[in-house]
Amino acid sequence: MTNTNQTPSTTPAADVAGSSFEQLPLSAAMLENLRQLQYLTMTPIQAASLPIALAGTDLIAQAKTGSGKTAAFALPILKNLNQPLFRVQSLVLCPTRELAEQVSQEIRRLARFADNIKVLALCGGTLMRPQMTSLEHGAHIVVGTPGRIMDHLQRGSLNLDHITSLVLDEADRMLDMGFYDDINSIAKQCPKQRQTLLFSATYPNGIAKLAKQLLHNPQQVHLHEQHASSKIRQRFYEVDDKQRLQAVAKLLKHYRPVSTLAFCNTKQQCRDLLDELLAQGFSALTLNGDLEQRDRDQVLIQFANRSCSVLVATDVAARGLDISQLEAVINVDISPDPEIHVHRIGRTGRADEEGWALSLFSAQETPRVNSISQFMGNEPEWHQLNELSNSNPAPLQPPMVTLQIFGGRKDKIRPGDVLGALTADAGFKGEQIGKINVTEQTTYVAVERSIGREAVRKLSAGKVKGKAVKARLLSGNN
Positions that interact with Mg ion (CB under 5 A) = 69
Choose among Mg ion, ligand ADP, none what residue 71 binds, the Cβ cut-off being 5 to 8 Å by kind.
ligand ADP
Choose among Mg ion, ligand ADP, none what residue 68 binds, the Cβ cut-off being 5 to 8 Å by kind.
ligand ADP
409 in Cβ contact with 473 (< 8 Å): no
Q: Examine residue 43 and tell whether it contacts ligand ADP (CB under 6 A).
A: yes
List 20, 31, 55, 68, residue binding ligand ADP (CB under 6 A): 68
Q: One-letter amino acid identity for 307? A: S
Residue 219 vs residues 57, 68, 212, 282: alpha-carbon distances, Å? 7, 19, 12, 44
Q: Examine residue 380 and tell whether it contacts ligand ADP (CB under 6 A).
A: no
List 2, 10, 44, 69, residue binding ligand ADP (CB under 6 A): 69
Distance between CA atoms of residues 402 and 133, nearest Å: 38
DSSP-H helix ranges across 358-451: 366-376, 415-420
DSSP characters over 340-354: HHHHHHTTSS-TT--
Distance between CA atoms of residues 104 and 144, nearest Å: 9
Choose among ligand ADP, Mg ion, none what residue 42 binds, the Cβ cut-off being 5 to 8 Å by kind.
ligand ADP
Choose among Mg ion, ligand ADP, none what residue 130 binds, the Cβ cut-off being 5 to 8 Å by kind.
none
Closest contact distance (angstroms) between CB of 216 and ligand ADP is 23
322 in Cβ contact with 208 (< 8 Å): no
Closest contact distance (angstroms) between CB of 327 and ligand ADP is 22
Q: Pick the stretch among 40-48, 159-167, 223-231, 274-282 that binds ligand ADP (CB under 6 A).
A: 40-48
Choose among ligand ADP, Mg ion, none what residue 62 binds, the Cβ cut-off being 5 to 8 Å by kind.
none
Q: Examine residue 112 and tell whether it contacts ligand ADP (CB under 6 A).
A: no
Closest contact distance (angstroms) between CB of 113 and ligand ADP is 15
Q: Examine residue 350 and tell whether it contacts ligand ADP (CB under 6 A).
A: no
Residues in a beta bridge with 235: 358
Q: Examine residue 67 and tell whether it contacts ligand ADP (CB under 6 A).
A: yes
Closest contact distance (angstroms) between CB of 234 and ligand ADP is 30
Q: Residues near 248 by Cβ (< 8 Å), separated by ≥ 6? A: 262, 273, 276, 277, 330, 332, 360
177 in Cβ contact with 419 (< 8 Å): yes
Residue 234 vs residues 237, 259, 282, 429: alpha-carbon distances, Å? 10, 16, 23, 37
Decide whether 69 or 253 has the Cβ nearer to Mg ion.
Answer: 69
DSSP-H helix ranges across 19-110: 28-36, 44-54, 69-80, 97-110
Q: Which of 179, 156, 186 lies closest to 420, judged by CA? A: 179
Q: Pick the stretch among 64-72, 208-216, 354-362, 432-440 that binds ligand ADP (CB under 6 A).
A: 64-72
Q: Examine residue 49 and tell whether it contacts ligand ADP (CB under 6 A).
A: no
Decide whether 69 or 341 has the Cβ nearer to Mg ion.
Answer: 69
Closest contact distance (angstroms) between CB of 79 and Mg ion is 19
Q: Examine residue 173 and tell whether it contacts ligand ADP (CB under 6 A).
A: no
Query: Residues interacting with ligand ADP, by CB under 6 A?
Result: 38-39, 42-43, 46, 65-71
